[in-house]
């Protein structure tokens, strides 16, 4: 992060020393999913300043638009209103909807050189899975994550558990969770608001089943292995009493963990840097426990190119995206946030190698990519995902059985996806 700030300072210094700024020939507006203000906006601003210093004919305006949903709404509203918007970082799972609305173009339309094509193939395959549809690349990974397990090593020691050996299986999760649960302290918390479908993907893939087909037009919510996965999640509270009853809030779970209210939590690796700053105790990060197999979905945001951009704007946007995803900047973004370095080359940079040696927790999400799957996404994805979210929450609150809830979600999804089946 420091070098990004240095780049910004250098650029300002050059201008102050009398270097006349070139008039921008191309202006870009980039919508980005961060609330206004704070350290992450400073990192992005530093990248933009460095890019503009190297490309004085391109001017970039970053619009920090809130969370992913806010950003999508604001970016699409701007486009429909005829306002400039050439690129954005949006959910990786938004690709189907953006294609269906004819709002984006594949990167192959712009990235045509041999070097561009090599760049398209330079990212981790697991992170490209959501962005590649029907043989074309619609999204480029930037702000990407997997779900990892954070655990309080001090509480492990107090419970007589080895702090260097977190649970590796569902059975161990239960047995350790029981030893870690006591008055005012839960063994495990897994968020079930915000992104219930995403957390549920963990249980499903660990039980050997992906929720969505590769065609984006089919789902397997009512598969016996999927039902069994939801039954196990429900059992953590209902049967084993190692997790709170009802739903657990996504937005406050990190605070519960750093306050010692839970010994373990599943959450995005994008929280890693914040946990490191806030936790007043020794904590570990581990890959998620397996059942039939290990696994986690990827998550986070991709760069997209909007169709409304002119050819010159698309070329400039590609330059910016290539600049921001370069190994050095991907490494610094990973260090600043906890998000995954999106390419193997990022982990070969000196700064990320040194950071990983000093803070090995930062390498867990990368290592888990070998068993990661694409985040759940289909055609008509918002409504299909809503049906699954409702089913998961109904089962966790006990208002419906996992089987009934998932069968209802399957029927809803089948009706929504029927027009897209080939």
Burial readout 357-381 (b: 16 or more C-beta within 10 A, e: otherwise):
eeeebbbbbbebbebbbbbbbbbbb
* SS3 at position 61: strand
Least confident of 146-150, 253-257, 371-375, 418-422: 418-422
What pLDDT, on the 0 to 100 scale, is given for residue 328? Answer: 96
Asked if 298 and 339 touch (Cβ cutoff 8 Å), the reply is no
206 pLDDT higher than 80: yes
What pLDDT, on the 0 to 100 scale, is given for residue 422? Answer: 82
What pLDDT, on the 0 to 100 scale, is given for residue 37? Answer: 60
In whole angstroms, what is the distance from residue 318 CA to residue 373 CA? Answer: 26
What pLDDT, on the 0 to 100 scale, is given for residue 14? Answer: 39
Question: C-alpha angle with apex 11: 316 to 33, nearest 5 degrees?
Answer: 55
18 pLDDT higher than 70: no
What pLDDT, on the 0 to 100 scale, is given for residue 38? Answer: 64
* Residue whose structure tokens are 């982990």: 347
Quick one: which H or E segment has residue 41? helix 39-54
Residues ≥6 apart with Cβ < 8 Å to 225? 204, 207, 208, 209, 292
132 pLDDT higher than 90: yes
Would you call 178 exposed, middle or buried from its count of C-beta atoms within 10 A (0-12, 13-18, 19+)? middle
Q: Which residue has the higher pLDDT, 11 or 123?
A: 123
- Crossing angle, helix 402-417 and helix 224-238, to 10 degrees? 140
* SS3 at position 106: coil
pLDDT digits (tens, 9 = 90+) for 311-364: 999 999 999 999 999 999 999 999 998 999 999 999 999 999 999 999 999 999
Q: Which residue has the higher pLDDT, 11 or 229?
A: 229
* SS3 at position 265: strand
Average pLDDT over residues 277-302: 97
What separation in angstroms does the CA of 203 have from each of 196, 215, 233? 11, 22, 7
Q: Which two tokens stand for residue 240?
A: 């084993």
CB atoms within 10 A of CB 401: 15
What pLDDT, on the 0 to 100 scale, is given for residue 36? Answer: 60
Beta strand extents in 73-218 (DSSP E only): 87-91, 132-133, 136-137, 140-152, 186-189
1 pLDDT higher than 80: no
Question: C-alpha angle with apex 112: 60 to 105, nearest 5 degrees?
Answer: 60
pLDDT digits (tens, 9 = 90+) for 33-49: 986 666 889 999 999 99
CA-nearest of 336, 286, 294, 339 to 152 is: 286
Asked if 247 and 396 touch (Cβ cutoff 8 Å), the reply is yes
What pLDDT, on the 0 to 100 scale, is given for residue 136? Answer: 97
Percentage of the chain beyond pLDDT 90 is: 90
8 pLDDT higher than 60: no
What pLDDT, on the 0 to 100 scale, is given for residue 6? Answer: 44
What separation in angstroms does the CA of 411 have from each of 228, 258, 281, 414? 18, 40, 47, 5
Domains and CATH numbers, the chain: 2-144+299-373 (3.40.190.10), 146-298+377-420 (3.40.190.10)
Burial readout 96-135 (b: 16 or more C-beta within 10 A, e: otherwise):
bbbbeeebbbbbeebbeeeeeeebbebbbebbbbbbbbee
For 308: left if phi > 0, alpha if psi spans -120 to 50, otherwise beta; the answer is alpha
Q: Please provide the average confidence, as pLDDT, over all residues in the chain.
A: 93
Asked if 144 and 128 touch (Cβ cutoff 8 Å), the reply is no
Percentage of the chain beyond pLDDT 70 is: 93
CA-nearest of 404, 198, 228 to 298 is: 198
Supply the Cα-derived Rg of the chain in whole angstroms: 22
Phi and psi at 27, nearest 5°, equal -115, 135
What pLDDT, on the 0 to 100 scale, is given for residue 19? Answer: 43
In whole angstroms, what is the distance from residue 141 CA to residue 306 CA? Answer: 16
Question: Parallel, antiparallel, or unpaired for β 372-373 and 262-268?
Answer: unpaired
Average pLDDT over residues 132-161: 97
Q: Which residue has the higher pLDDT, 305 or 12?
A: 305
What pLDDT, on the 0 to 100 scale, is given for residue 20? Answer: 42
In whole angstroms, what is the distance from residue 139 CA to residue 105 CA? Answer: 9
At residue 22 the predicted structure's pLDDT band, cuts being 50, 70 and 90, is: very low
What pLDDT, on the 0 to 100 scale, is given for residue 10? Answer: 39
21 pLDDT higher than 90: no
What pLDDT, on the 0 to 100 scale, is given for residue 40? Answer: 87
300 pLDDT higher than 50: yes
Beta strand extents in 328-370 (DSSP E only): none
Least confident of 27-36, 125-134, 154-163, 180-189: 27-36
What pLDDT, on the 0 to 100 scale, is given for residue 39? Answer: 81
Average pLDDT over residues 261-283: 96
């Amino acid at each position: 992060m420091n070098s990004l700030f240095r780049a910004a300072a250098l650029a300002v210094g050059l201008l102050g020393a009398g270097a006349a700024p070139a008039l921008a020939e191309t202006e870009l507006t980039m919508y980005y999913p961060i609330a206004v203000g704070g350290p992450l906006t400073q990192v992005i601003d530093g990248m933009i300043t460095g890019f503009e210093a190297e490309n004085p004919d391109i001017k970039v305006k970053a619009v920090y638009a809130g969370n992913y949903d806010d950003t999508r709404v604001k970016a699409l509203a701007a486009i429909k209103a005829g306002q400039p918007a050439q690129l954005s970082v949006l959910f990786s799972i938004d690709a189907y909807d953006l294609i269906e609305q004819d709002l984006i173009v594949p990167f192959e339309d712009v990235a045509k050189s041999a070097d561009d094509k090599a760049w398209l193939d330079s990212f981790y395959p697991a992170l490209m899975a959501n962005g590649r549809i029907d043989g074309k690349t619609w999204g480029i990974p930037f702000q990407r994550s997997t779900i990892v397990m954070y655990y309080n090593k001090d509480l492990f020691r107090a419970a007589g558990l080895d702090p260097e050996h977190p649970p590796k299986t569902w059975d161990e999760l239960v047995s350790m969770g029981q030893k870690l649960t006591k008055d005012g302290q839960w063994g495990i918390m897994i968020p079930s608001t915000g992104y219930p479908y995403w957390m549920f993907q963990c249980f499903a893939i660990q039980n050997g089943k992906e929720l969505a087909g590769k065609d984006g037009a089919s789902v397997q919510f009512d598969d016996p292995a999927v039902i069994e996965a939801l039954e196990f999640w429900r059992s953590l509270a209902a049967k084993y009493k190692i997790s709170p009853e009802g739903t657990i809030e996504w937005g406050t779970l990190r605070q519960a963990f750093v306050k010692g209210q839970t010994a373990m939590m599943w959450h995005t690796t994008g929280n890693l840097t914040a946990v490191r700053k806030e936790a007043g105790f020794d904590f570990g990060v581990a890959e998620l426990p397996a059942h039939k197999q290990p696994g986690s979905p990827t998550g986070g945001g991709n760069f997209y190119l909007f169709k409304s951009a002119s050819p010159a704007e698309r070329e400039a946007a590609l330059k910016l995206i290539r600049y921001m995803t370069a190994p050095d900047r991907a490494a610094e973004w990973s260090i600043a946030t906890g998000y995954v370095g999106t390419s193997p080359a990022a982990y070969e940079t000196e700064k990320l190698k040194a950071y990983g040696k000093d803070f090995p927790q930062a390498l867990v999400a990368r290592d888990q990519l070998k068993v990661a799957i694409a985040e759940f996404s289909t055609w008509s994805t918002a409504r299909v995902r809503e049906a699954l979210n409702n089913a998961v929450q109904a089962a966790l609150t006990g208002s419906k059985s996992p089987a009934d809830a998932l069968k209802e979600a399957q029927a809803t999804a089948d009706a929504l996806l029927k027009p897209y089946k080939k």
